[in-house]
Amino acid sequence: MAFIRMIPEEEARGPLKELYTSYRAPWGGVDNILKIHSLLPDTLKPHYDLYKSVMFGKGPLSRRQREMIAIVVSRSNNCTYCIHHHSDALLRVTKDRPLADALRAGDRSAPLSDVEHMMLEFAERLTKQPTKNFSFEVSRLKENGFTDDTILHITLIVGYFNFVNRIAIGLSVELESYWNKNGYSDPTKPMAHDKL
């Protein structure tokens, strides 16, 4: 149970009710990471807009790469909520269960290209050592073909997931009831992260 009160959907009124209606997921409710904003509804739309932009908006990274970064950051922070949601999203995008399982478990032998390993190492280091000077790492990314806009996109995703992980962990945001024992959702049912 979350450490603070979340307003249930049936009790929502006014602007919060409108937001809940807008953000209702295909499973029939609003995900808890959004409902945790319910006492300060003005914070909900900016959060959702940033998520939608970095994970689904135009940018140089593929959905596969975006979800991989999300998992690595969330795994580094031990954020169960986001690990579940984004390993599930990666599985739905790629249909690659061994890849999703490996990243979810923190298995460094996941079948990735050298540049993807480099990208994920950067994401992990930025998460674990946020006060470090990253000039060397950024130069290394550039030397290996990463453009400035790609490096920016990676960094924005890392920043977003550190933000959302801390909300989920700090306020004990619980997983929704639809998760299977294997940690994934029912593949026959649509999820909010299928597409926006």
Structural domain includes residue 41: no
CATH code: domain of residue 112: 1.20.1290.10
Distance of alpha carbon 115 from its chain centroid, rounded? 21
Count Cα atoms within 13 angstroms, Cβ side, for 167.
Answer: 15
Mutual angle of helices 80-94 and 148-170, in 10-degree steps: 130
Average pLDDT over residues 108-112: 83
pLDDT digits (tens, 9 = 90+) for 143-188: 999 999 999 999 999 999 999 999 999 999 999 999 998 889 988 8
Contact 71, 104 (CB under 8 A): yes
Length of the chain: 196
Q: How far apart are CA 185 and CA 196, in angstroms?
A: 18
Q: What percent of the chain has pLDDT over 70?
A: 98
183: containing domain: 61-194
Structural domain includes residue 147: yes
| Residue 17 burial by Cβ neighbours in a 10 Å radius (0-12, 13-18, 19+) | middle
DSSP state of 42: G
Query: How high is the pLDDT of residue 195?
Result: 64
- Provide the number of structural domains found in the chain: 1
